Structure 1
Amino acid sequence: MTAPLVQVNDLAKTFDVSAPWLNRVVERKPRQFVHAVDGVSFSIERGKTLALVGESGCGKSTVARLLVGLYTPSRGDVVFEGRPTAAVLASREGRGLRRRMQMIFQDPYASLNPRWKVLDIVGEPLREHGLLNDTAALRQRVGELLQSVGLSAADVEKFPHQFSGGQRQRISIARALATQPEFLVCDEPTSALDVSVQAQVLNIMKDLQRERGLTYLFISHNLAVVHHVADDVGVMYLGRLVEVAPKRELFDRPQHPYTRMLLDAIPDIHMTGRARTPVQGEVPNPLNPPSGCAFHPRCPYANERCSRERPVLLELRGVKVACHAVEEGRI
């Protein structure tokens, strides 16, 4: 077994969301903290795709930003090719690591500078990392990158407002590929796009992965998209991983009640008649999460232990799952 390209160990991020000091004194309120990510661990093999799924607010995008160094972890570490990224980013080698790890953001309307031409947008990483400084060579390279994502080399002179949403996201992908990275963090790259355009962008990403041997962390709340692109799937709930499994195993035999609930929410177009568990309740307030297992107020299998003791992610039935009911054989 080769070592994974990316290894995440007990990663956590806490945000201070307290009111200003004077308000707290006058209203006699304590400081408040949100545990956006709380002890997440996973690994991604070279050339593979791990998808993180879960409802809005479960911490997926925070994990993405922690991996590429946009946030500093409160606890734990990210290891890239056997080396902790925090130490590397703080050293002279940080620029080289940033070149090897890039991110595709969620909103193609907000992540591109409207005042810049495509030549400047896609060419910025090349200039920033000192890969190309000659104007003619830069223009040629940007044109090649645009063609690799299905756009025309002549588009270098256009502005973002002259493109559709799907085309803008292709520009974002071209920008991320400019430094020839090995690892791409994709934060819901198709959620702002129409379904037909989603398929085009996803196919481009799969083709690029096949051609260049790219490794992806793919974040999404759309299980149909995840089924199309992922090799392995991690399910997050309120900042923690509750299940990690190979894609086929997770879709065919989901273990955790929350994973089952997510899959039951997908319309049954084949009319299989399979029994479904109705969705119960809502996501709890992250400022005041439930004790024990965070999912227990919504879980049909919860008992007294679930409300008291937080489950640990264990290897059960060939997958990793954090659930007392699965561990005890109650499901």
Structure 2
Amino acid sequence: MKSAFASVRKVPIVAIFCSFGLIFGRSGSGKTTLLQLLAGLSSPSSGSIEIQRYGSDGKPTQSPELLRPERVGIVFQFPERYFLAQTVLEEVTFGWPRQRGSIELKQQLTFRLQAAINSVGLNGIPLDKDPKTLSGGYKRRLALAIQLMQVPDLLLLDEPLAGLDWKARADVVKLLKHLKKEVTLLVVSHDLKELAPLVDQSWRMDMGGFLKEEPLPV
């Protein structure tokens, strides 16, 4: 199923009939603030945020429902700055419940771990490796894996290509092309040329946080 989100203002639902949406605009216009609102890291001063699910025919499958923050993943710009653990495995599983769980829970978490690692192409990296020693591209892969562990309905990315060399940028673009088949992605970026082939729908954000659906500039 594919997802959509609503504006935090009292306006009609803004539908995303796609798996890769991109928001662009001038710095300071409010793009990152919007991602924080969608992720539940900030609260709107008025209105609400809802999600609309669609089937493969583009038609709604149910009534809109409030967007639950726990169903939203977010990868910040330079996410590697927030790594805390000593190994890749500890970093990916940092948010796991520490208390004893049932065998079923452990099996579910193990399946999620393997699926996330495979999805981002980290299966060739030793799980006992220090995350800080990974290349820039692999650090972004690890940050994505951490969010995919939660199996989100919506994955938000803030400037996913920032600070990477040309090879790492190409690798991340290739990875996002794969991920858009698995989860709805909403990306904020200034790197329009590199991401353009992936984009299904795009919006320009003007100063003051006003969104307008608009094709990417050529």
Establish whether TM, by shorter chain, passes 0.5: yes
What's 2:32 paired with? 61
Paired residues of 1:119 and 1:139 also in contact (CA < 8 A): no
Greater gyration radius: 1
2:21 aligns to what SS in structure 1? strand
CA shift at 1:161, angstroms? Answer: 1.4
What's 1:239 paired with? 208
CA shift at 1:41, angstroms? Answer: 6.9
Q: Match of 1:176, as an amino acid?
A: Q
CA shift at 1:242, angstroms? Answer: 5.6
Change (3 A) 1:154 1:207: closer
Q: Match of 2:66, as an amino acid?
A: P
- Tell whether 2:21 aligns with 1:50: yes
Aligned to 1:110, which of 78, 81, 103? Answer: 81
C-alpha distance in 1, partners of 2:12/2:81?
28
Paired residues of 1:125 and 1:179 also in contact (CA < 8 A): no
Listed as ranges, the matches of 1:125-164 within 5 Å are 125-127=95-97, 134=106, 141-152=112-123, 154-164=125-135
For structure 1, the 5+ residue unaligned runs are 12-38, 86-96, 252-262, 264-331
CA shift at 1:52, angstroms? Answer: 0.7
What's 1:180 paired with? 151
Change (3 A) 1:58 1:158: same
C-alpha distance in 2, partners of 1:3/1:188?
22
Change (3 A) 1:243 1:226: farther
Give me the CA root mean square deviation: 3.0
- Tell whether 2:70 aligns with 1:84: no
Change (3 A) 1:165 1:147: same
Change (3 A) 1:167 1:190: same
Listed as ranges, the matches of 1:1-331 within 5 Å are 5-10=4-9, 42-45=14-17, 47-81=18-52, 82-85=64-67, 97-113=68-84, 115-127=85-97, 134=106, 141-152=112-123, 154-210=125-181, 212=182, 214-241=183-210, 243-245=212-214, 247=215, 250-251=216-217
Change (3 A) 1:157 1:9: same
> Which of the pair has the greater relative contact order for Cα pairs under 8 Å at 6+ separation?
2
2:127 aligns to what SS in structure 1? helix
Paired residues of 1:5 and 1:44 also in contact (CA < 8 A): yes
Q: Match of 1:10, as an amino acid?
A: R
C-alpha distance in 2, partners of 1:52/1:199?
20
C-alpha distance in 1, partners of 2:39/2:168?
27
Change (3 A) 1:227 1:137: closer
C-alpha distance in 2, partners of 1:186/1:117?
23
Q: Match of 1:110, as an amino acid?
A: R
CA shift at 1:103, angstroms? Answer: 0.9
Paired residues of 2:23 and 2:204 also in contact (CA < 8 A): yes
Percent identity over the alignment is: 27
Equivalences, count: 204
Paired residues of 1:10 and 1:41 also in contact (CA < 8 A): no
Change (3 A) 1:154 1:109: closer
C-alpha distance in 2, partners of 1:201/1:78?
29
Where in structure 1 do 4 or more consecutive aligned residues deviate above 6 Å? none
1:151 aligns to what SS in structure 2? coil
C-alpha distance in 2, partners of 1:125/1:232?
32
2:50 aligns to what SS in structure 1? strand
Change (3 A) 1:168 1:239: same
Paired residues of 2:23 and 2:189 also in contact (CA < 8 A): yes
C-alpha distance in 2, partners of 1:182/1:126?
19
For structure 2, the 5+ residue unaligned runs are 53-63
1:50 aligns to what SS in structure 2? strand
